[in-house]
């Protein structure tokens, strides 16, 4: 079984010296060991699962970090929008909160009366 990293090569011919044959045997053993290692790695389901688990864990960690950064930026933007230069709430914010509360109370009262 030829591996992509070990191209097919001809076997030593009949006139090859003992050193050439031994060198060819050593190369073949190396190739075989490499092939066995590759197959072992491919068939090691537990190691593959651990690797995939780590990949997912890393990706989720990155997404959490990104979400936190985005949330912090959104909060900072809202704070800047709702406050003046001195950090005090702009007058429109409490008025809007009161209007929203009044609308919610009105809807609740209306729902209770109609049911």
For residues 52-80, give the mean pLDDT. Answer: 93
17/100 Cα distance (integer angstroms) = 95
Q: Vertex 68, ends 66 and 71: CA angle to 5°?
A: 110
pTM (predicted TM-score): 0.43
The structure tokens listed for 54 are: 């780590």
Whether pLDDT at 111 is above 80: yes
2 pLDDT band, cuts 50/70/90, is: very low
- Helix then strand then coil, in percent of the chain rounded to 5, is 75, 0, 25
Q: Which pLDDT score, from 0 to 100, does residue 68 have?
A: 94
Cβ within 8 Å of residue 1, ≥6 positions away: 35
Give residue 7's pLDDT. Answer: 60
């Amino acid at each position: 079984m030829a591996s992509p990293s070990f191209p097919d090569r001809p076997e030593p011919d009949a006139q090859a010296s003992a050193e050439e044959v031994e060198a060819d045997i050593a190369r073949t053993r190396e190739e075989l060991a490499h092939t066995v290692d590759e197959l072992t790695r491919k068939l090691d389901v537990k190691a593959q699962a651990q690797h995939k688990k780590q990949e997912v864990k890393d990706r989720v960690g990155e997404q959490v970090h990104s979400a936190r950064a985005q949330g912090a930026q959104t909060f900072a933007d809202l704070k800047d929008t709702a406050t003046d230069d001195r950090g005090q709430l702009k007058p429109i914010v409490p008025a809007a909160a009161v209007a929203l509360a009044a609308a919610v109370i009105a809807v609740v009262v209306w729902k209770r009366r109609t049911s």
